Chains A and B, each alone.
Chain A
Amino acid sequence: AQKVTQAQTEISVVEKEDVTLDCVYETRDTTYYLFWYKQPPSGELVFLIRRNSFDEQNEISGRYSWNFQKSTSSFNFTITASQVVDSAVYFCALSELTGANNLFFGTGTRLTVIP
């Protein structure tokens, strides 16, 4: 079973719309870390956020916000007032403290923001 599921393969929105990218994870660990990365067309994965399992506070950084819900094993990412530069593939990832040695990535969500 996949450890990280990003069910949305592709999303298209019109500029200035809000968009939420879903991430559902699976782990038996009580201590784990969740990440979001952005991969623009240039190819480089750009780190966006790291969150540990004990910190359920939602976080906001400019137009970006993250909603961490342990009860539903979800770590969703919302972009407010989307811009064309937000067009990219977004990856959610999970690292377990005591589980297998790996950073488990989802398959990514391709976001296209239409001007």
Chain B
Amino acid sequence: ETGVTQTPRHLVMGMTNKKSLKCEQHLGHNAMYWYKQSAKKPLELMFVYNFKEQTENNSVPSRFSPECPNSSHLFLHLHTLQPEDSALYLCASSQDLALGGTFTDTQYFGPGTRLTVL
């Protein structure tokens, strides 16, 4: 496989469920990102990992828990979500973060997981 892959592509869950989203990149990159895309809103950056270390957490509720076991894999663990968490969750990767941690490298995105919370 090439590029950035995400599984599952679609997920429906109840508010009491626990599920995980998976992202894998085959580009040899060292930085990985989670974004949330809701209707009519700009993409919202959620988490950033650089060389497996979390560098950004944009005030994301604790019901979202990221995990980055290595530079190629990124997970987003979900538990006790709310209906307003329904969105497209996109994973991206880039070579790494520039000196100072800025996002100047091109990010390559996966196809996303369409999440519906009932």
| Residues in A whose Cβ lies below 8 Å from that of B14 | none
By a CB distance below 8 angstroms, the chain A residues around B114 are 43
Q: Pick from B41, B48, B100, B104 the residue with the most CB of A within 10 Å.
A: B104
CB of B102 within 8 A of CB of A42, answer: no
Q: Is A80 an interface residue (CB 8 A)?
A: no
Across the interface, which residues of A come within 8 angstroms of B107, CB to CB? 47, 103
B93 to chain A, nearest CB (A): 11
Chain A 73-111 against B: per-residue CB contact (8 Å), 1 yes, 0 no? 000000000000000000100011111011111111000
Check A97–B90 contact: CB distance below 8 A.
no
Pairwise interchain contact A103-B103, C-beta atoms closer than 8 A: yes
Interface size class of A (residues with CB under 8 A): 20 to 34
Query: What is the total number of residues of chain B having a CB less than 8 Å from a CB of chain A?
Result: 26
Q: Which of A43, A47, A102 contacts B103 (CB 8 A)?
A: A102
**Separation in Å of the A23 CB from the closest CB of chain B?**
13
B112 is an interface residue with CB less than 8 A from chain A: yes
Compute how far the CA of A43 lies from the CA of B9 in the bound complex, rounded to whole angstroms.
10
Q: Are A33 and B109 in contact (CB under 8 A)?
A: no
User: Interface on B for A, CB 8 Å cutoff?
Assistant: 40-43, 45, 48, 55-56, 58, 88, 90, 92, 98, 100-104, 106-112, 114
User: Which 9 pairs across A and B sit closest by C-beta, in order of nearness?
Assistant: A45-B109, A44-B111, A43-B112, A105-B43, A103-B103, A95-B103, A105-B42, A33-B104, A50-B106
